[in-house]
Each structure stands twice: as C-alpha cells, then as structure tokens.
Amino acid sequence: MRAAFRWPVPDRLNIAERCCDSWARAEPDRIAIRQIDGTGSRADWSYGQVKAASDALASSFRARGLGRGDRVAVLLAQCPEVLITHFAAMKLGAVGLPLFTLFGEEALRYRLSDSGAKIVVTDAENLEKVLALWPDLPDLAEVYVVGDAVSPACRFWAEIETARGGFVPVETMADDPAVLIYTSGTTGPPKGVLHAHRFLIGHLPSIECTHPGFGQAGDCGWTPADWAWIGGLMDMAMPCLYYGVPLISHRMRKFDPDAAFRLIGTERIRNLFLPPTALKLMQQASVPEAVDVRSITSGGESLGSDLLEWGLTALGAPINEIYGQTECNLVLASCHGLMEVRPGSMGKALPGFDVAILDEHGQQVASGEMGEICVKGPNPVMFLKYWQKPEATAGKLRDGWLRTGDLGTCDAEGYFTYASRDDDVITSAGYRIGPSEIENCLTAHPDVVMAAVVGVPDPVRTEVVKAFVVLREGAAWEGLEAALIARVRARISPHVAPRMIERVDALPMTATGKIMRRELRGR
C-alpha cells in the first residue's frame, strides 16, 4: 500500500465543497448530520439543508465584511451549527477557529486576541463571556448567537433566513488557509496551528485503513470528543461528511459510559473515535445487546493489551490505535486486518507518510533506541505555520522534518512505540523511563480503572517512579499498593517499578482526555 500510494491532492480544493456541496448536488436528501439533544429527540439534516444554510450564512458574513483569510471563531459544543459555520467561512476563503466551550475568560481572550478573529459564533450559554471580552478585542466586528441574542449580538438563524439568494463560493487553492486550531505546548502560551484545505486529504489514509470500507451501507459515526479539537473535528466529523456517512451530533456535558452505550445502541452507531479515557470508563460498564460496532479508533494515550482484547470480545470490533498531533495528524496507525497488531505499539507509518526516530542532532537512531518521533515533510496533513510565531515554526520544522516532541522507539519491522512527551520522561539511576508501559501494566489489574506515572525528585537516583491510581468502586486499598508494585516488577522490570503509589479519586485531564502529568508532578 505504501509503495503504490500517491497523494491525490488537486491544485484547487475547498473542504466545504468536498464535505458538503458535492454531496448536496448529487444526493441532496442524503442524511449528513443527526442531532440528538439531551432528551433523546432527533433532528436530521440533509446535505442539501446544510448547503443551503451555509450558503446563506456565508452571504451574511460577506455582507458584514468578512473576506479571504479573516478568522471566524466557533464557540459551540457539538451541534450542526458548528459545521454550518465552518463551511460558510470556507466558502468565503476565510478561516475557521474552533474554540472549546469550557474555556474560561483568559483562555478565550488570548485566542480571540491572538488570532484577530473578526466574527464569533456562539450560543446563549456562552454569550456573556464573549460580550465581556468584546471591548478588549479591536478586531472583533460581529457576534452571532444560536438562540436568544441580546444587542449588539445578532441572531444566527435570523441572519440565515433573511440572507439574499444566489451565493457563489470563492475558489480556493489546496494550500489556502482553512482552519486555525490552538494547541498547548510544553512551554509558553498556546500556539495557533494554521492548516490548509489540503489537510482534509491528509487525514484520509488513516480513515480508510482504520475504518475499512468506510462509507458502506449502515455506517454511522460518532465521537464524544468535542469538535473544537482536531481529534473530534478531523478524526470523525469531517471524514464522515466527506464519505457520506451520517454523523451523530450529541453533546455530553460529562462523559457517561452507560449513556454512551445507550446512544450507540439506539442510533445504531457503527464507527467510533473514542479517546482512551472514554474507553477505560466504558470498559467498566455493561454493553447492551443492541450495540453493533464495526470500527473504533483511539489515540492520545497508549492502550494496554487488556483494553484491546476487551474491544474484540465485548464490542466485537478491533480498537485501532492512531497517532498524530495538531500540527501533523494521523501519521501512524495500528490496523487490524492490514498488519499484525502488537499491543503497546502504535503500529506503522500510514501510506503517504515517512516517519522516523531521530536524535537531538537530526540523525536517525538505531532500531529499538529511544528518540524523538519525527515526520518527513512536505505532506498534505502538515500545518502551514504557527500563527504569528515564525521562530516557533522554525523550531518545529527543522531540516525537512517535523519534530513532534514525543519520544518513542521503532523496531526493525517499522513498528512505532510511544514512550512519552519529552518532558514526561523519568530519569532514574541512569535509565530513561517512559510512563505509558507502566500505566498499561497498572490499568490491566482488575481493581485499577486509570493510572498515571511521573518522576519525583530523589537525591540519589535523580528521580524515582511514582504512580497515581483510580480504583474501581468497592476495591480495597489494603495490600493493593504492594501488589501493584510487585506486578510492575514482575511484568515489566524491577528498575521501572514504582517506589510509591497514591490512590486518588480522579486524575487531572486535558479537555481532550489526556493525562496532565505536569500537574501531578507539581503536587
């Protein structure tokens, strides 16, 4: 597959055309999005309806001065209006800026100010935050509100209903900017990652390898990940619309594994992107008989063999691990049916990508040796630049390689294994220890739901390994700490075994479900 692969990227490309308008012309009544509200009621949106709404919204945006390259912030939870807004912006050559609704005032202020967003689309629930910030945002010209609006904001659907017809989208090139997504690095403030329309094409090899035959009869996709993040937006939402797969839109204020299973069964969802945290919680719940899943992807934290086995036995579907980051998403995958799947490994480089383990000098390390996971450029999924940060861009892209900042290994057969972020590595008695393998060993114990491992200072060894664990309800703590330490000693190695384990009620997580090990180290 890799040898035969060539990137099918045309000179002219627009995500809204590929994911919406082309389907609307061919099959206008085909279901694009199914919105499920908190009461369980549903509303279907056809491609024709999504096209008409995004055309009208684009007309309104244009009338209010939005043009090529301008940024449109989307401060909404999962709902059809998110995608309608992105498509409207793209049809004008503008840039969508997805924002997480749980962002506080300072997080929003920074992103809206740094991006110079000209329009914000939000809902009544989040309007107050935006209005409070508006006086400090000189570039912000208009605020659209889904639901009840107060002056000076304008009503989203009223603007669509009164827009004049005859809208014609602008023509965009594959390299024209389309989406700006902010990511928090290990140092400094968040960086705006600017992507071109071509990054849609860059996601497709992973989609086709991890969801084989995606788009076949009966397929239906959902992710609990918010569409404000690249995982929710580009690992499931946009690919569903590109392939004509009905996309379930459902907001979960807090992830509930039982509610997730009910949704999957009721709506006959067959294709899922589930963050590791969601999978670990679902593993503790009962699987209803109505659940009939065909394909699952997961990424962001390493999965243990017990979780992979649970997917096959309890759900009847393989969980394919995927790897990428906001700057260059979905470059590695572990694909059942296309390769031997090795628990603990992220799999191999997908067709179209060259990935290697490099040292700090940019040289490829020996097989099995730890180094930085790096991706060879150019390729369609790679970002254009960090917004207004040329030095950071130059630091990320060096000598033709994108430096991910993630440490890992690659064996002689091309299987990549994630170790940690470069700042998560534990240095103990001369050993460089990554937390993932230890965490997988701990969570494979029947009493452990989640685990996180960090290094804590030690005057002799530099650092020693400490683990934090969340136990299943009813599990006894007495004697368990010693048993877990012995488990790691026996199953991995004595030199990586935790010297201490602390029981906690919950682990600090990012909005995308990744463990915040820095916060644990700070304790």
Q: Which CATH superfamily is domain 424-522 in?
A: ANL, C-terminal domain (3.30.300.30)
3-state secondary structure of 25: helix
Average pLDDT score over residue span 310-326: 95
**Backbone CA torsion sign across 390, 184, 434, 414:** negative
CA–chain centroid gap for 200, Å, is: 14
The CATH number of the structural domain formed by 196-422 is 3.40.50.12780
- The two domains 196-422 and 424-522 share their CATH topology (first three levels equal): no
pLDDT at 96 over 90: yes
For residue 509, the model assigns a pLDDT of 87
User: Above 70 in pLDDT, residue 152?
Assistant: yes
167-184 confidence digits (pLDDT tens) = 999 999 999 999 999 986
pLDDT for res 105: 84
Helix (H) / strand (E) element for 305: namely helix 305-310
Distance between CA atoms of residues 250 and 77, nearest Å: 9
- Cα 453 to Cα 406, 418, 437, 450, 477, distances in angstroms: 16, 14, 10, 10, 18
**Does residue 187 carry a pLDDT above 70?**
no
Considering the entire predicted model, what is its pTM?
0.88
Q: Over the stretch 367-386, which tens digit does the pLDDT of each residue have?
A: 999 999 999 999 999 999 99
Q: Tell me, what's the pLDDT at 133?
A: 96
- Out of 12-16, 153-157, 438-442, least confident range: 438-442
User: How far, in Å, are 19, 246, 419 from residue 346 at the CA level?
Assistant: 28, 28, 11
Average pLDDT, the chain: 94
CATH node for 10-29+43-173:
3.40.50.12780
Strands 426-428, 431-433: pairing kind: antiparallel
Give the mean pLDDT of 473-488: 95
Of residues 213, 177, 256, the one with CA closest to residue 14: 177
pLDDT of 186 reads: 46
C-alpha distance from residue 92 to each of 76, 104, 165, 307 (Å) = 20, 29, 15, 44
DSSP state for residue 446 in the 8-state scheme: T
Residues 266, 308, 508, 468, CA torsion sign: positive
- The residue-averaged pLDDT of 148-153 equals 90
Taking the C-alpha atoms of residue 238 and residue 6, their distance in angstroms, rounded to an integer, is: 22
Number of C-beta neighbours around residue 11 at 10 A:
7
Domain boundaries, the chain: 10-29+43-173, 196-422, 424-522
Q: Reply yes or no on whether the pLDDT at 466 is more than 90.
A: yes
Comparing 307 with 494, the larger pLDDT belongs to 307
Burial class (CB in 10 A: 0-12, 13-18, 19+), 469: buried
Three-state SS for 206? helix
pLDDT exceeds cutoff 70 at 233? yes
Direct distance between the N- and C-terminal alpha carbons of the chain, in angstroms, rounded to an integer: 47
Contacts of 291 (CB under 8 A, 6+ apart): 261, 264, 265, 315
CA 53 to each of CA 158, 226, 492: distance values in angstroms, whole numbers, following the listed order? 11, 22, 55
List of E strands, 28-85: 31-36, 42-46, 71-75
Dihedral (Cα; 358, 362, 363, 367), 10-degree rounding: 0
User: Do 441 and 488 form a contact (C-beta atoms < 8 A)?
Assistant: yes
% of the chain residues with pLDDT over 70: 98
